[in-house]
Amino acid sequence: MKRQVQTSFMTTNPTTNSSLLLQVRDLRTSFRTAEGSIAAVNGVSFDVHHGETLGLVGESGCGKSVTALSIMRLVPNPPGIIESGEVIFEGVDLLKIPSKEMPSIRGAGIGMIFQEPMSSLNPVLTIGRQITEPLGVHLGLNGTAAENRAAELLEMVGIADSRRRLKDHPHQLSGGQRQRVMIAIALSCEPKLLIADEATTALDVTIQAQILELMKNLTTQLGTALLIITHNLGIIARYADRLNVMYAGKIRESGTAEQVYLRPGHPYTVGLLNSVPRLDRPATERLDPIEGEIPDPANLPTGCAFRPRCRWATEQCETTEPILQQVEDRQMVACFESKTVSDSVGVAFQ
Amino acid sequence: MTITASTEQGGIADSGDSSATPLLSVRNLSVHFPLKAGFIFQREVARVRAVDGISFDINPGETLGLVGESGSGKTTAAKSIIQLIKPNSGSVKFEGQELVGLSNGAMRPIRRKMGMVFQDPYGSLNPRMRAGDIVGEPLKVHGLIESQDDYRSQIASLLSTVGLSPAMAERYPNEFSGGQRQRLGVARAIAAKPSFLVLDESVSALDVSIQAQILNLLQDLQEQFNLAYLFIAHDLAVVRHISHRVAVMYLGRIVETADSADLYERPLHPYTQALLSAISTPNPLVERSRERIILRGDLPSPINPPSGCRFHTRCPVAVASCAETDPELRQLAPNQEAACLLAAGYASAASASGTIS
């Protein structure tokens, strides 16, 4: 495991340290259940640079949301516990500071948007109250100044008639508008990093497009780094500079969007790309899905966790767990057969 | 295959050989829900026009994809077709028989030929029933069992048809994964040998790798049993993959209908174009160079739909007359109809900018 940390440190950090905003190192978060301890995040390391957009993709249960919650130290405890690792945000390890200092990081340093805007907003408080609250806490803005700033923020996220809207309650807004309010709150204190955890998954496609464009434009304007967590490969392809593909608690492949989509090196990435019907290709008769199902996290296969579903698996995969290794400048794959995999499918994806 | 062969009723699908007669024919179907006010004397103050005059045909063995955003009336349309909701007006002919106005008793034998698979594989299976009994329930309801042995063997054959092990019949739903539960839902839907299935967002909640497995299963079953599908979904890439024809709904109306290939190559209605442009495809080169049509605002309320064309409030190309004239579906190309005043003149520009491929 030590080796994995070192390699990823060297390769995902080609630029100078000054552009580094967040370093996640060997993060392990587990949940205590009746069947014992389950490692939801099992040694995840990645970097986020200032102003970049990073994608984190994977299917349900792969640990992508728990990774985000661990960064924010919002993992519910019990049953969850951050076992080990480092989350270094602007030089400070967030896992080592006292928990009473975390609120000043959340909001002012790292903003977060969740999937369900209705349950993220307080139903009994006005929109205005919910936007002005962080302004008071983090920026010391109160009274009229806070209200003016809140109205500005609502306008920034494209809500018309913002003065009047400040007096509305969440139920008076549509799903898309609620998510706009969430973005306004998340960006209100101009955080350095915005984490969007399936932020548009529950929305209709046309609204999804509105919100994604808005999020991307605002973060570009403000120079905010964006961590997009989603299962939707298309969203990442459009918005992210780099991405990490997660499976069963670990990053299995990382690289630039071009590398991972056009020349994937991990069989799981290939399987994901083959599973989705695509509008950029002629309609096909049949899809080529990944066989089988996601393994039980309490009872992971030996060796590579993807082995039972993998068409390239060898004996080695059963006994030894592959670690992330560099296959190209900026691209890393945790697979013994990555060369064979990308050679055999690479052309088809371009 | 054993299923069709085992009874005479399995031959329904075969009887629909004349492709000229559609299996299902929907004409001007409307479902309005009254909104009532008042405490004792409830009076109707408004109507939700959930489905407002839709028409389409589905041929035996064919898939019609029904796409639209939440609130567009897709699910209500499907439920009113199988008479789970009584439509206010219009006609639904299934195998030539009019369903609107039939009593529940008269509907029962017809329901045998119509199955439904729901979105939520967790909520749609009774947690206290064994998988075998869940799958076998339609057989009991419609009296399709000769003996207990016959019941068991039919269940075993159904389970293996959908890719589950017959031994799983003894398990409860909580012992199955999401994908397996959806397979159970499919097995239940095809148990009584229907000729028509409503698939209401049946793959939307599944992870992509599992979604692909279920899509393949549905295609296999269609081929095997000549099933017709009404495939409701909001994911246009999935709809293109499985559908022969596609109908696009907006606020209770069908705004465009076409053969699947034509619709995706040459969408004529501005709403279809916006929907298509909102879909991202997993290819960064395509995605980053592609211009998106971003619609303004949200879906208007179906209680008080906009005047004229219902889409004009969000339409990027609307002109003044769109607020006055309610456009009818017009045939603009072979097998392609769109309800847009501007669609004909718009068609050429659209193919240049609106689509992906």
Any CB–CB contact under 8 A between B234 and chain A?
Answer: yes
Give the residue from B98, B111, B105 showing the smallest Cα distance to B192.
B111
Give the number of other CB atoms < 10 A from CB of residue B199.
Answer: 27
Domain ranges of chain A: 2-101+226-349
Q: pLDDT by residue (tens digit) across B229-269? A: 999 998 889 999 999 999 999 999 999 999 999 999 999 99
Which range has the worst mean pLDDT, A244-248, B1-5, B138-142, B252-256? B1-5
Q: Where are the domains of chain B?
A: 2-243, 267-357
Q: How many inter-chain contacts (A to B, CB under 8 Å) are there? A: 137
Cα–Cα dist A119/A51, whole Å: 28
Six token digits for residue A268: 């799981």
Res A9: pLDDT? 39
pLDDT tens digits for range B17-69: 445 689 999 999 999 998 888 777 788 888 888 999 999 999 999 999 999 88
A interface mutation test: which of B67, B164, B209, B296 has the most A CBs within 10 A?
B209
**CA dihedral of residues A119, A211, A135, A143 (deg, nearest 10):** -90
Contact check, Cβ <8 Å, A277/B241: yes
State the ipTM, two decimals.
0.83
User: Chain A contact for B294, CB < 8 A?
Assistant: yes
Residues of B in contact with A59 (CB under 8 A): 207-209
Residue of A nearest to B179 (CA): A293
Chosen for mutation from B180, B273, B281 (greatest number of chain A CBs closer than 10 Å) is B281
pLDDT per residue as tens digits for the range A99-157: 899 988 988 899 999 887 677 889 999 999 999 988 988 888 888 999 999 999 998 88
Across all residues in chain A, what is the average pLDDT? 88
What are the phi and psi torsion angles at A234 (to 5°)? Answer: -65, -40
Q: A292: Cβ–Cβ under 8 A, 6 or more apart, which residues?
A: A308, A309
Tokens 């008269």 sit on residue: B106
What's the pTM?
Answer: 0.86
Question: What does the alpha-carbon distance between residue B243 and residue A234 come to, in Å, rounded to a whole number?
Answer: 21
Nearest to B288 among A205, A238, A274 (CB): A238
* pLDDT tens string A52-66: 999 999 988 899 999
**Lookup: tokens for B93:** 């002919």
Reduced to 3 states (helix: H, G, I; strand: E, B; else coil), residue B289 is helix
Contacts of A232 in chain B (CB under 8 A): 280
Q: What is the pLDDT of residue A336?
A: 95
ω into A78 cis (within 30 of 0): yes
Q: How far is CA A198 from CA A76, A109, B284, B300, B305, in A?
A: 19, 20, 19, 25, 31
Looking at chain B from residue 256 to 275, which residues have their Cβ under 8 Å from any Cβ of chain A?
260-261, 264, 274-275
Report d(CA A96, CA A87) in Å as an integer.
9
Predicted confidence at residue A350, as pLDDT, reads 60
The whole-number average pLDDT for the span B195-199 is 96
For B:187-216, CB contacts with A below 8 A are 207-213, 215-216
**Chain A closest-CA separation from residue B294 CA (Å):** 6
Q: Which of A1-5, B92-96, B274-278 has the highest mean pLDDT?
A: B92-96
User: What pLDDT score does A156 carry?
Assistant: 86
Q: Is any Cβ of chain A less than 8 angstroms from the Cβ of B46?
A: no
Q: Report the residue from A206, A271, A288 with minimal CB separation from B295.
A: A206
Residues of B with Cβ-Cβ distance to A288 under 8 angstroms: 212
Cβ contact A177–B298 (<8 Å): yes
Instruction: Give how far A262 is from chain B: nearest CA, Å.
Output: 7
Closest CA to B349 of B275, B293, B308: B293
Mean pLDDT of B75-100: 93
Q: How far is B165 from chain A (nearest CA, A)?
A: 13
> In this structure, are strands A242-247 and A53-57 parallel, antiparallel, or unpaired?
parallel
d(CA A180, CA B70): 18
Any chain A CB within 8 A of the CB of B89? no
- Residue A232 confidence (pLDDT) above 50: yes
B298 close to A (CB below 8 A): yes
**Which residue in A has a C-alpha nearest to residue B176's C-alpha?**
A293
Interface test with A, best of B174, B208, B216, B231 (most A CBs within 10 A): B208
| Mean pLDDT along residues B313-329 | 92
Probe site for chain B from A204, A212, A246 (most B CB atoms < 10 A): A204
Residue A151 is predicted with a pLDDT of 92
Distance from CA of B236 to the nearest CA of A (A): 8
CATH class entry, domain A2-101+226-349: alpha beta
Q: Which fold has domain B2-243?
A: Rossmann fold (3.40.50)
Q: What's the full length of chain A, in residues?
A: 350
Q: What is the pLDDT of residue A46?
A: 96
| CB-count exposure of residue A346 (10 Å: 0-12, 13-18, 19+) | middle
Partner residue facing A238 (CB), from B216, B241, B280: B280
Please enumerate in sequence order all residues whose Cβ is within 8 A of that of B16, keeping only pairs 6 or more positions apart, or say none. Answer: B23, B59, B60, B61, B95, B195, B226
Q: What are the pLDDT digits (tens) for A249-306?
A: 999 999 999 999 999 999 999 999 999 998 888 877 788 899 988 888 888 999 999 9
Q: How far, CA to CA in Å, does B221 sit from each of B10, B60, B226? A: 13, 13, 8
Write out residues 272-291 of B within 8 Å (CB-CB) of A: 274-288, 290
Whether residue A237 and residue B274 make contact (CB cut-off 8 A), yes or no, is: no
Going by pLDDT thresholds of 50, 70 and 90, the confidence category of residue B195 is very high
Which residues, 6 or more positions from B284, have their beta carbon under 8 angstroms from its beta carbon?
Answer: A237, A238, A257, A258, A261, A262
- Of the candidates A209, A238, A277, which has its C-beta nearest B294's C-beta? A209
d(CA A217, CA A238): 13
Residue B209 and residue A290: Cβ atoms within 8 Å?
yes
**Which of A208, A237, A283 minimises the CB distance to B282?**
A237
User: Residue A143: what pLDDT?
Assistant: 87
Phi (first) and psi of residue B299, to 5 degrees: -60, 130
Answer for the pair A181, A157: CB distance below 8 angstroms, yes or no: yes
B301 inside 8 A of chain A by CB: no
Distance CA B350, CA B354 (A): 5
Note whether B210 contacts A293, CB cutoff 8 Å: yes
Taking the CA atoms of A221, A226, A230 and A233 in sequence, report the sign of the dihedral they define. positive
Please state the separation of Cα B19 from the chain's center in Å: 21
List CB contacts (< 8 A) between A281 and chain B. 357
pLDDT score for A14: 42
The whole-angstrom separation of Cα B188 and Cα B198 is 13
Nearest residue in chain A measured CA to CA from B263: A279
Option in A60, A207, A235 nearest B280 (CB): A235
Residue in A174, A205, A289 nearest the CB of B234 = A205
What is the rounded end-to-end Cα distance, in angstroms, of chain A?
Answer: 34
